[in-house]
Amino acid sequence: MAGRLTSLRVAPLHPVAWWAWAILLAAAAARITNPICLGLILAIAGWVVVSRRPQSTWARSYSTLLRLGALVVVIRVVIQALFGQRIPGHTLFTIPSIALPSWMAGVTVGGPVTADALVGAACQGLRLAAILGCVGAANALVSPFRLLRCVPAGLYEVAVAVTVAVSFTPQVISSLGQVRDARRLRGRAISGLAGVRGLAVPVLEGALERSLALAASMDSRGFGRRAVSVTRQRVASATTLAGLLGLAVGAYGVLDSGAPPALGLPIVGTGALLVIAGLITTSVGGRTRYRPDRWSGREWCTVLVSAAALAAVVVVGRHDAASLAMPVYPLSFPAVPPLAVVGLLLAALPSIVAPRPIDTAVR
Amino acid sequence: MRPHPDRTGATRFGKRGAVAIAIASLVGLAAFCWPLFAHVSSHSNQAHAGDAPWVMAVIIPLLLIALLGEVTTGGIDAKGVALLGVLGAIGAALRIPSGGTAGFEPTFFLLFPAGYVLGRHFGFLLGALTLFASALVTGGVGPWLPFQMMAAAWVAYGAGLLPRRQGRLELVILASYAAVACLVYGLLVNMWFWPYGAGTTTSFSFQPGAALGHNLARFLAFDLTTSLGFDIPRAVLNAVLVLTVGRPVISALRRASHKAAFGAAVDVPLPAVAGAPVVRTTPTTTGQVR
Amino acid sequence: MVHRTVVVLATVLCTATFVAAASDAAGAARTRVGTDSAHFAVVTVHHARECASVRKAGGGTIVVPVVIDLGGPSDQANVTCVAVPAGSNDAQVLAARAKLLGVTAPRYAISGLLCAIDDYPATGCGQQNGSHYAYWAYFHGGSSWTYSSVGPASWTVSAGDVEGWRFEPDGSATPADPPPRSPSDAPTLCPASVPPTTTTTTSPASVPTSTATSTTLAQSSSSSGNHGATGPGSAPAVSSGPKPFVAAPGSGGPVTAKGSGSAPGAVSTTTTPGPPGGAAQQGAGSDRAGHRTPTHLASKRSPGHGGFPLGIIIAVALIALFATGAGFRTRRSTKAD
């Protein structure tokens, strides 16, 4: 352990890098129903988490989301068995049909349950579980609090409100406990409707009191005083509104079948860029950061290997889409696309490239 | 300038913010309900389920970013931020014991009186913030979070649109709105979950390209089967809480908004120079430099 | 502990897949249907067993015309009259058709999308090139062809329904895609489908009923019999389908269709076994568009994804490696605390 002390000075990886890695990997998982590749993604995410997660309570979120993923698989399989569309295949057993009221027309309960249907539903549930696993990995590797510190200055007020909310929550809970003890000592009800009434009001009043004190202290420290010119603000809000309009038109284009293809994704992309540009316009100038996280070669490496994995999956999807899918009807073994496997293996690199976490509880 | 006791105006959005919320809400609704409008080509390619789900999953966070950035920049001051934060903290604390067990989620309870007393735009911000803070505090950030934030923001926005009444009638209106709003929230979040939970191969999956009524009937069947057991307890719990605890909470919030004096003008007397005007600033124009 | 669950999940899924695929491979091979009456008898018996089980279940049987159009410029649509229990969905109708003809069952994607009928196309499923898709478009017949807005597994067939499928090599996945090139009404395609009750010819005792049906068909179509015999090149050649068969049962008994090969109309791309059997489809199958005969390869699945290749073993080994490595690291870090 002594040799590791030299690594204590190395800053942890930028939060956005970890989240980008996780989101790109989840986007790759969303294109796959092949259980082999999905299992590989889950295993890689788990490996990276275990290698590089800091010792904090946030690390539990990975197992929580994994368990949620398993629950999703079970739900999908059960729903498919009970309510699935009956495509003839390898029948395993038959559920007796139940007559439903006529207004639920089209919904069928019961019928032959095929292995194809169950395996197909399990693979689709596994796809969701893999996405949840990637998001859980991002949660475990970097707590969202660190992500809040990277929020651009355009969202500063919102970030402060969120920070206040999260910091105040333990105080609210402790004041709840105190009020409860005080009432019990006075022999007043602490449960039932009267108890809830008696607990809610003092806690709320105390919290509101503290909020005004907090506001006064924030004001006296110059909260909200920014040298942002009105012109810049007007430009920023015009850009944001134009971006919102672009998103609206693009969403319509994506949904409407009769719309020309140029109306869909490109306009959504333009709208997104405009929104981000509006955000950047309000963020530039006037606010500095305390100890900003650095973006260096390691962060680039983390993001690029995940982008490479996504690119490999996309390329395989274009050339040989059947290998990324689980063949059902008829049921057979899934193929293993070598290019996709190699690309996904690349995404395990951050377990080596990223710095080791500091062995203290960090938030 | 004393603020009206029932229209506290904790935030100043103006027309720009209202337009932004309107556009964003329309887009958000389309982003939620895309299975009802999806067309057949989204079904054809098996490698990815069509563009619509992922485009919508990206659009909602962008909408939230745009809205929150747009309406808070210059539209909210320290008092508003502090109040937002604290009320969000209470909402997050309310989520911890329930953990979503069978829909007993009192988290939403505070959104209704707060939106009602402090205005619809404040309610919008509070709804989004409460869900975000409670996600941070309880489990973690999941892919459902932007949708939950949007839906809760709408629910709290609606509370600000309720008519102002006195006495018992006020509570009854708010409680019935609370029940309806919780059901609507459940419907919206279930609409998000519908393509993932039912896929395309069950008898209540969405059928790309089918008629709106057809898909809607299937969605209602899916909702009935899977999530009504969560939505109805949540609606009942929140309505009961509003009826029982609503009166003191509303009074406490009104008192706080009086004390905060949102929208009060600030007089800054300059050093006495003959003929110099007294500078009058309102919180929203603080810090702006021409 | 978490990673143990990952490993267990992976193992369970692989075992389930293996078991299912292995049992599928060991399952019944499709029987080939030949042109002589012995095999024809087999088909009849198959059909009889099917219908017997349906009768036991108490439901009625309906005859549904299924029109398959391969979409090529020189392809012609072919019709199959399939008898299915009432209340079946179109996926079950297609599967019954495949079983009747002795061809590969239709292949579906995991999303429920129909990929291939009669193993055409051999690979790919709704491939997208640019803004066009190569996919099987589903139509409902009746007075005219209607583009279906639901999938085959969601549509319950009823008496008088006509199921149409056309492969669109360059389709737009909208109702503007062209429908199958055949008439769309049930009486023209499968006269036996009009009175549904007469088609429950299940036991040998009811064979006279089937003959009776066939003779009525002969009577009703004698006037248009010439039309069917005008030659293979006629565009609505599919409508001449039942007639050649119908000409045969003047001899009584089960329709032997021995003469089907002789009737020129039958050779041209029409395969309509109808209720009394489907022997002639073999000859017709070889003429189907002239460029492939998948019906002869009925018992083979589509190649390319079968077997237990080395790749799966390697991939599973990699997954196990990562999972156990993660497990060890977790144990070591908890021990170090």
Cβ atoms of B94 and B110 within 8 Å: the answer is: yes
pLDDT (tens digit per residue) in C79-138: 989 999 888 889 999 999 999 999 989 999 888 888 899 888 888 887 777 777 888 889
Is the CA virtual torsion A190, A194, A197, A202 positive or negative?
A: negative
Q: Does C128 contact chain B (CB < 8 Å)?
A: yes
Q: Of C38, B2, B4, C110, which is closest to residue A326 (Cα–Cα)? A: C110
Q: Which chain A residues are Cβ-neighbours of C107 within 8 angstroms?
A: 329-330
Mean pLDDT over the full length of chain A = 85
CA distance B67 to B154: 13
pLDDT computed for residue B19 by the predictor: 84
User: Does the beta-carbon distance from A144 to B141 stay under 8 Å?
Assistant: yes
Assess contact for A324 and A332: CB atoms under 8 A.
no
CA B63 to chain centre: 13
| Top-confidence residue, A51 or C254 | A51
Nearest CA to A253 among A244, A263, A262? A263
More confident position, A139 or C244 = A139
Tokens of C148: 């279906």
Given an 8 Å threshold on Cβ–Cβ distance, is B41 in contact with C110? no
Nearest-by-CA chain C residue for B206:
C150
Q: Which of B96, B108, B104 is nearest to B136 (CA)?
A: B96
Q: Which residues of C33-66 are buried (b: 16+ CB within 10 A; e: fewer)?
A: bebeeebbebbbebbbebbeebeeeeeebbbbbb
More confident residue, A308 or C211: A308
Q: C155: nearest CA in chain A?
A: A106
Residues of A in contact with B45 (CB under 8 A): 321
Contact assignment for B40 to C109 by CB distance below 8 Å: no
Cα–Cα distance between B28 and A210 in angstroms, integer? Answer: 35
Query: How far, in Å, CA of A345 to CA of A306, rounded?
Result: 10
Q: For residue A84, list its beta bridge partners.
A: B202
In 3D space, the residue among B23, B108, B132, B130 whose CA is nearest the CA of residue B71 turns out to be B23
Give the least confident one: A194-203, A298-307, B135-144: B135-144
Interface with chain C: mutation pick from B39, B41, B196, B218, highest number of C CBs within 10 Å = B41
Task: Please report the DSSP string for C165-187 in residue order.
Answer: EEEEEEE-SSTTS---SS---HH
Which chains neighbour A (Cβ–Cβ under 8 Å, 3 or more pairs)?
B, C
The tokens for B125 are: 């911000």
Q: Which of B231, B72, B57 is nearest to B145 (CA)?
A: B57
- By C-alpha distance, which of A75, A78, A88, A65 is closest to A138? A65
Q: Which residues of A239-276 are buried (b: 16+ CB within 10 A; e: fewer)?
A: bbbbbbbbbbbbbbbbbebebeeebbeebbebbbebbb
| CA–CA distance, C147 with C165 (Å, rounded to integer) | 10
Task: Give dist(CA B18, CA B13) in Å, integer.
Answer: 7
| Share of residues in chain C with pLDDT > 90 (%) | 9
Predicted pLDDT of residue B277: 61
Cβ atoms of A126 and C13 within 8 Å: the answer is yes
Chain B: nearest CA to A328, how far in angstroms? Answer: 12
The total number of residues shown for chain B amounts to 290
In this complex, do C150 and B44 lie within 8 Å of one another by their Cβ atoms?
no
Q: Report which of residues B104 and C40 the model is more confident about.
A: B104
**C106 interface with A at CB cutoff 8 Å:** yes
**Nearest CA of chain C to the CA of B205: how many Å?**
10
Does C56 reach chain A within 8 Å, measured CB to CB? Answer: no
Q: List pLDDT tens digits, range C257-312.
A: 343 333 333 333 344 333 433 333 333 333 333 334 344 333 344 444 445 678 88
Cross-chain residue pair B46–C172, CB shorter than 8 Å = no
Tell me the chain B residues in contact with residue A279 when contact means C-beta distances shorter than 8 Å.
Answer: 65-66, 69
Chain A residues whose beta carbon lies within 8 Å of the beta carbon of residue C337: 55
Give the span between the Cα atoms of B145 and C331, in whole angstroms. Answer: 32
Whether residue A7 is predicted with pLDDT greater than 50 in this model: the reply is no
Share of chain C above pLDDT 70, in %: 47
Chains in contact with B, where contact requires at least 3 CB pairs less than 8 Å apart: A, C
Q: Which of A57, A82, A83 to mutate to test the interface with B (most CBs of B within 10 A)?
A: A83
Contact assignment for C149 to B41 by CB distance below 8 Å: no
CA distances in angstroms from C247 to C43, C66, C229, C252, listed in the order given: 20, 22, 11, 11
- pLDDT given at position B9: 58
Structure tokens at A282: 């309000």
A236 contacts B52 by C-beta, under 8 angstroms: no
* Centroid of chain to Cα C173: 21
pLDDT at A100: 75
Chain A with chain C: Cβ pairs closer than 8 A: 163
* Chain B residue nearest residue A139, CA to CA: B140
Q: Does B16 touch chain A (CB under 8 A)?
A: yes
Neighbours of C142 (CB within 10 A): 13
Please provide the CATH number assigned to the domain covering C32-297.
2.170.130.30
- pLDDT score of C21 more than 70: no
- Test A85 with C95 for CB contact under 8 angstroms: no
Interface test with B, best of A58, A160, A211 (most B CBs within 10 A): A211
CB contact under 8 A, C14 and A35: yes
pLDDT category of residue B104 using cuts at 50, 70 and 90: low
More confident: A228 or C171:
C171
Helices (H), C143-234: 186-189, 207-221, 225-229
DSSP B59-77: HHHHHHHHHHHHHHTTT--
Which of residues A306 and B206 earns the better pLDDT score?
A: A306
Pick the CATH number of B14-285 from 3.40.140.10, 1.10.10.10, 1.10.1760.20, 3.40.50.720: 1.10.1760.20
The pLDDT, as a whole number, for residue B290 is: 28
Distance from CA of A238 to the nearest CA of B (A): 9
CB count, 10 Å around CB of C12? Answer: 11
> Which one of B36, B37, B43 would you mutate to disrupt binding with C, by most C Cβ within 10 Å of its Cβ?
B43
- What value does the mean pLDDT take over residues A353-359? 81
Residue C7 is predicted with a pLDDT of 56
**Residue A205: closest CA among A197, A193, A195, A194:** A197
Determine the Cα–Cα distance for residues A110 and A107; give it in Å rounded to an integer. Answer: 10
Distance CA C277, CA A66 (A): 54
The secondary structure of A214-269 as a DSSP string is HHHHHHHTTTT---EEHHHHHHHHHHHHHHHHHHHHHHHHHH-TTS-GGGSHHHHH
Which pLDDT value is given to residue B40?
A: 60
Q: How far apart are CA A14 and CA A294, in angstroms?
A: 7
Tell me the torsion sign for CA atoms A300, A305, A311, A313.
negative
Mutation site, A33, A40, A47, interface C, largest C CB count within 10 A: A47
Mark yes or no for CB contact A164/B252 under 8 Å.
no
Residue among A31, A255, A276 minimizing CB distance to B47: A31
CB contact under 8 Å between C306 and A341, yes or no, is no
Q: Structure tokens of A161?
A: 């409100």
Rounded Cα distance, A101 and A107, in Å: 10
Q: Count CB pairs under 8 A between chains B and C.
A: 53
- Find chain A residues with C-beta within 8 A of B221's C-beta: 104, 106-107
Q: What's residue A207's pLDDT?
A: 92
Q: Which residue type, as a one-letter code, is found at position B166?
A: Q
Mean predicted confidence (pLDDT) in C217-244: 37
Identify the closest residue of chain A to B109 by CA–CA distance: A200
pTM value > 0.90:
no
**Position with higher pLDDT, B187 vs A262:** B187
| Both structure tokens of B171 | 């509570």
Of A345-359, B21-35, B255-269, C187-201, the one with minimum mean pLDDT is C187-201
pLDDT at C226: 40
**Chain centre distance of CA B135:** 15
C11 touches chain A (CB under 8 A): no
Range with the largest mean pLDDT of A111-125, B185-199, C169-183: A111-125
Asked if the Cβ–Cβ distance from B47 to A244 is below 8 Å, we say no
The more confidently predicted of residues C51 and A312 is A312
ipTM confidence: 0.86
**Residues B258, B260, B262, B268: what is their CA dihedral angle, to the nearest 10 degrees?**
120
Give φ, ψ of C165 to 5 degrees: -130, 135
